Chains A and B, each alone.
Chain A
């Protein structure tokens, strides 16, 4: 299995690694049992612009690279724009992912949505988040795999 140079760059030099102590929104998705967890922290200003974003990820190189790329893609954007981030956009920005790793990009998309959902919840704003309950414990692909045999 060969990763693109972009993936290796974002794996070896991940952007926006870390935590934000006074974050305005935090989203965590994935399942350690499946081998990847992503946690995204957002700092959002009064105009709804993401002024800072950090991530913590447990997982393989593509999990780390997709987290890094996803944070780059939403930094400086509005939270509503961030909600539009698709896993496809993350994959394209990384010059592709091996087929078995595409689920990592889905996880990145969901981590961003979970963080935005948390932001709206803290604000007390009712907001429908597409395809995300805000507390997903496993991404869709993982659901199929992990479902039913939780320890």
Chain B
């Protein structure tokens, strides 16, 4: 059976260009910190990768710090900024209810240390506004952290406007852009971003590598003490192959962004229209300001894990925000934050596309999903009640 991969928000296939960059870098075995020829060879690769990532974000080379991925970047930026501002007597952090757990759980940890965390609610369509952020900022605000694009429902937040508010109020602004970089245009200077997290494997780069952009002049505390790597702020010999693979993938993603978007958006919209044509099915997140690759819907009367496993049996890889797939009894905090009741949030399905997704694949998904939904609804006492109440 041919596999149809529609879980690109979870991770992506590594691109041939990224793979090639990884392999080339493996052959360069020198330590970038060494002064000899082998070291210099490695240093030049590292330096080029840093320049490529910087240029992709509209940043300077010395503002890019390589990390192990999005979660590390989020942790470092948030905890670092909190500690930095604590010294100035500021102890409030503003964020949103729909952040990734890498942000939310970091904020929980800071809360336990005495920080005050304000999670702004989002609209039913899944957006926060710059006005909400502005109204929440006080003289004690240490940091604002708002994701650029949501990983579950694909909504793109007004980061530029939020950044402008923060800049004018003199408050640090971090954005978790893991789902955005390589998919939508990002420019840290134009968008007034102080810190930005990204992850290599979300845009066809390798897993286990990411970066944190930190605007020049912000002196984040060191994450790992040791050698002089990453300006001494994150010591340890660099993971050169992965870094080079990520840089190559990012360069490629940005070069092809316009072309890819033009290809993916019609497929996404075909999926959204086809799936929401199933009765009692809703789209999660607004249609406008949505990343090109995200489809998120809820089918009433069924539970997401059952749907996922049936899709898997039909060769389709997807994801769900249902409780059962998260290993807890609560459905996704994002779906609850947009106002869905538990019963409906349990029936969620996320399909995330890539430029490799074909129309045939979309048609196959649209052919298969309604049948599975119908089958699961037929055995569902919840659906039975919904139908009875309708009559």
Contacts and interface: CB of A to CB of B under 8 A. Distances in A.
Interface of A: 1, 8, 11-12, 14, 17-18, 28, 32-39, 55-64, 100-101, 142, 145-146, 151
Given A32-B342, A33-B342, A56 B381 contact: yes
B97 interface: no
A64 to B, nearest CB: 6
Pick the most buried of A34, A35, A60: most chain B CB atoms within 10 A of its CB.
A35
B303 interface: yes
Given A58-B381, A60-B322, 20 more contacts: A12-B310, A12-B313, A17-B379, A28-B381, A33-B343, A34-B323, A34-B329, A35-B324, A36-B303, A39-B381, A55-B379, A56-B384, A58-B380, A58-B383, A61-B305, A64-B306, A100-B328, A142-B329, A146-B329, A151-B341
Interface string B118-145: 0000000000000000000000000000
A151 B325 CA distance: 23
Contacts of B322: 35, 60
Nearest to B305: A60
Interface in B354-391: 379-384
Contacts of B109: none
Q: Which 6 A-B pairs have the closest CB atoms?
A: A60-B324, A60-B305, A58-B380, A33-B342, A32-B343, A58-B382
29 contacts: A1-B327, A17-B379, A18-B379, A32-B346, A33-B342, A34-B329, A35-B322, A35-B323, A35-B324, A36-B303, A37-B380, A38-B381, A39-B381, A56-B379, A57-B379, A58-B301, A58-B302, A58-B381, A58-B382, A60-B322, A61-B305, A61-B309, A64-B379, A100-B327, A100-B328, A101-B324, A142-B329, A145-B329, A151-B341
Contacts, number: 76
Interface string B38-69: 00000000000000000000000000000000
A60 B307 CA distance: 8
Contacts of A38: 381
Contacts of B325: 60
What does DSSP make chain B's interface, helix, strand, loop or mixed?
A: helix
Contacts of A58: 301-303, 379-383
B343 A11 contact: no
Contacts of B309: 8, 11, 61
B210 interface: no
A63 B322 CA distance: 14
B159 to A, nearest CB: 33
Contact of B381 (A35, A37, A64): A37
Contacts of A145: 329
Contacts of A146: 329
A40 B108 CA distance: 42
A13 B287 CA distance: 37
B332 to A, nearest CB: 12
A34 B310 CA distance: 21
B338 to A, nearest CB: 16
Given A35-B342, A39-B381, A64-B379, A59 B327 contact: no
Given A11-B306, A58-B301, A58-B303, A37 B324 contact: no
Nearest to B320: A60
Nearest to B341: A151
Nearest to A33: B342
A56 B30 CA distance: 63
Given A12-B313, A32-B342, A63 B384 contact: no
B81 to A, nearest CB: 34
Pick the most buried of B322, B327, B328, B382: most chain A CB atoms within 10 A of its CB.
B382
Contacts of A37: 380-382
B163 interface: no
B388 to A, nearest CB: 13
